[in-house]
A and B are shown apart, each in its own frame.
Chain A
């Protein structure tokens, strides 16, 4: 039970006596929590602080007496709130409670198999531990244990051993209450009661991994970790999730230099105790990708050959010396690495031509980032206290799952009002009972300006707003008009940190505007240089155009894949004719055309931090301690030395210290130019306006090598409205072809609630990579026909 933390309302305290000790706790606190406050541990299985009490396992029985009248039998302490004059006797002082607990334990163990040697939970199992602390030393069961077929796969990534289950209902309660994915339930009754899935409907939840973590026995196990290790083999390191901007606290468990599993950490202000399946299971890319192990330099025959570090750095420096160069960092760098790139561009290359956005972007977005996002401090707490949440160009479950969980928590708790301005209804909108304002792709800004928000409301705007001209301007003016808070939620983990570190053409570290002379002097003094370039730099699109036209000669590229860019093939051609230095973990489309390739450390091999969408630092340490790979910032520092313009950032710690010392800019921000919306194209016949976004589980590079996780992807479908489906003569499941002059995609159709002019396809799913196959973004006209 969480109390009214942070609010000004005085909390009514109730004093109870537990095992002879008095404790005062807020009204409504459960007896089991009050006992915890005294350090008295009552055994339990079903009880979980973030789930509603249920009293399913009966393990927490205690003797309770109120106003001198005792309950006739021991009571479950996880379901009874404290009351005045309550006297509680736990197993420590009451032989009756102790005997009752031992009896419950004996019944739980009656049908529990002696699987401990082969069970993944063995060694970290609450049932093992509490059987030792609160169970009988001997068994009286004389007979056969109940046997079920085992294990059964309730999804491709979660396996169920029904005979191990103690029917605590933690998993079913999590799925129903927290994730709103009630795909699993308790079936049957009595000894045959079991967790089950609906027929032909597997446990396809984005949050299914949490049930494995909270299962108090080994009934639910992850397919990928099954039989891999024992808890005492693992070396655990606190870490942060590198997959999205939610910023989950994590724990990485490593055995002999190999990551075997990741668990959600406990951070009440961010992810509580949950995470999504991508964060939990998508870590094998580090070993699955064909990693670069040594520098590569293109020789006179045009082939990339292995080189030593001094050779590669000399070749890179020779290629950059005296050239007009730019930097593209990619959105997955740590804050320290982004700061290294930002400083490298300004000092070593003498330019502001740096952009971290490796995706579909706009100039309007860059202005918005510098004006309203850099230095802003909207947090998860603001969702907790908001009266209304507006989702704009943002699909929380697919693009930032923990934000979805937090909105869902408030929706379940107090019916938080949610409004979504979108082209298509989504599963998350149904779960949140969101008001769906249906618009044509490109027409979002008109709908946004009519939203009725208050000063207590919060606007969550996603990075996809850059694909609809005028949308960021509309969001900014809506916020100014209503006083609502704005939170910009990018998809990638490193984006907010890169913005704050100044890896963008119009801002310096700490959100200082490049155009502001005082801000430049501030940073120049801190960096010990006489001046910094004053001209705001180019954007990603402009950098690539300048490389193509020859007004830039060279580029330093971090983790960028041209598949993520609009007009990716043109970007690749531009890189091909320029001098490219690529800092990468594995071969990519950029390393293929690079002149110097420098291998860098993957997340598990380095320390650093990310800033999540709130701007909260999520620091992590290297989980694989003996890796020889270096972080980007260290390599950039060596490269700057080779160029003769040192940036003096030899370690991640040095970069972090220097970045934190700079602090935030307290002067004026970049002023934002209002952009007027573009007119939406009118379509007729088989033409439709494309709208698309990425799914949480798709063809992303960081999900490589994890086939079990891939099995819980949502199906690849093209979504059309019932009216369009009728006109085309198709039903859900029929194949349709979405095409334009560039190419075509043929996938099954799903008839759903979407704007009549629009067609939705996933942006990077199997058989549907919109940017690669069609080179088309949100708002472009495509042709949809029955295949």
Chain B
């Protein structure tokens, strides 16, 4: 066994012989109070901030807005007619360095058209216990379906509650949108959707 006491230059002692009182006591010199000029310089920050505008807000009664590009909770966006933009390609899950995203793709059928084209995201989960809000998923998304909001209040009392499902992440329906599933805009292809040719839902889309 290597004796590490040797390395520390401490006198070797057998068990029972150790005595704290035999360690030599070195007196430390106490400098005493600083001169008044130095003290005034030190307290200057305290004094001056007494007359500045208060930065603290009474959270959660008052909520200060974040910076506009703050990385908060994700959002799954919709096309202007309400169809989802997510195609279930899993590139976000692939890009995620924390393995926080789980996606399963699904088939769009005439009866169940969730997004334009053939494929939609059937299962979409983000685990906010793992997410590090780096935004690589947003960069990876080929349809701009995934973006980040400024929402930062992501705390809860159960681990399960921090796995957000697709319905938790989907953007709300805005003016002119219809909740999917519904058919694609009459006469439009998925390419038209990506080119921005669809501006709002057509009345016939809500007919079913």
Interface residues of A (CB under 8 A from B): 117-118, 122, 150-151, 226-230, 232-233
Contacts and interface: CB of A to CB of B under 8 A. Distances in A.
Interface in B102-148: 104-107, 117-119, 142-143
B105 A227 contact: yes
Given A117-B142, A118-B117, A151-B118, A228 B90 contact: no
Contacts of B88: 118, 227
B90 A227 contact: no
Contacts of A233: 90
Contact of B118 (A118, A122, A229, A232): A118
B87 interface: yes
Nearest to B189: A147
Given A227-B88, A230-B94, A118 B104 contact: no
Interface in B188-204: none
B89 interface: yes
A156 to B, nearest CB: 14
Contact of B107 (A122, A150, A227, A229): A227
- Which of A228, A230, A232 has most chain B Cβ within 10 Å? A230
B91 interface: yes
B94 A227 contact: no
Nearest to A233: B90
Contacts of A118: 87-89, 105, 117-119
Interface of B: 87-91, 94, 104-107, 117-119, 142-143
Contacts of A230: 90, 94
Nearest to A230: B90
Contact of B104 (A150, A151, A226, A228): A228
Nearest to A122: B89
Given A117-B142, A118-B89, A151-B118, A232 B107 contact: no
Q: What secondary structure prevails in chain A residues at the interface with B? A: loop
29 contacts: A117-B87, A117-B89, A117-B91, A117-B142, A117-B143, A118-B87, A118-B88, A118-B89, A118-B105, A118-B117, A118-B118, A118-B119, A122-B89, A150-B118, A151-B118, A226-B107, A227-B88, A227-B105, A227-B106, A227-B107, A227-B118, A227-B119, A228-B104, A228-B105, A229-B104, A229-B105, A230-B94, A232-B94, A233-B90
A232 B94 CA distance: 8
A597 B90 CA distance: 43
A494 B12 CA distance: 74
Contacts of A226: 107
B7 to A, nearest CB: 48
Given A118-B118, A150-B118, A229-B104, 20 more contacts: A117-B87, A117-B91, A118-B87, A118-B88, A118-B89, A118-B105, A118-B117, A118-B119, A226-B107, A227-B88, A227-B105, A227-B107, A227-B118, A228-B104, A228-B105, A229-B105, A230-B90, A230-B94, A232-B94, A233-B90
A118 B104 CA distance: 12
Contacts of B142: 117
Among B89, B91, B117, chain A packs the most CB atoms within 10 A around the CB of: B89
A226 B90 CA distance: 14
Contacts of B119: 118, 227
- Interface hub of B104, B117, B143 (most chain A Cβ within 10 A): B104
Nearest to B143: A117
A150 B191 CA distance: 13
Contacts of A229: 104-105
A226 B109 CA distance: 13
A227 B104 CA distance: 8
A228 B117 CA distance: 16
Nearest to B117: A118
Contacts of B104: 228-229
A118 B117 CA distance: 10
A233 B99 CA distance: 12
B192 to A, nearest CB: 13
A728 to B, nearest CB: 44
4 smallest beta-carbon distances between A and B, as pairs = A117-B89, A227-B105, A118-B119, A117-B142
A228 B95 CA distance: 19
Contacts of A232: 94
A226 B87 CA distance: 13
A233 B88 CA distance: 13
A117 B105 CA distance: 11
Contacts of B107: 226-227
A145 B35 CA distance: 81
B76 to A, nearest CB: 15
A122 B142 CA distance: 14
Contacts of A150: 118
A235 to B, nearest CB: 15
A88 to B, nearest CB: 38
A229 B121 CA distance: 11
A253 to B, nearest CB: 14
Most buried by A among B88, B106, B119, B143: B119
Contacts of A228: 104-105
A538 B6 CA distance: 83
A230 B104 CA distance: 9
A142 B135 CA distance: 32
A122 B87 CA distance: 14
A229 B90 CA distance: 9
A517 B142 CA distance: 74
Contacts of B117: 118
Contacts of A227: 88, 105-107, 118-119
Contacts of B143: 117
Contacts of B105: 118, 227-229
Nearest to B89: A117
Nearest to B191: A147
Contacts of A151: 118
A232 B106 CA distance: 17
A115 to B, nearest CB: 9
A117 B145 CA distance: 13
A241 B200 CA distance: 52
Contacts of B90: 230, 233
Nearest to A226: B107
Contacts of B94: 230, 232
A229 B94 CA distance: 12
Contacts of B89: 117-118, 122
A151 B119 CA distance: 12
A232 B93 CA distance: 10
A290 B122 CA distance: 24
A232 to B, nearest CB: 7
A532 B118 CA distance: 64
A616 B107 CA distance: 41
A352 B9 CA distance: 81
B121 to A, nearest CB: 10
Contacts of A117: 87, 89, 91, 142-143
A634 B117 CA distance: 50
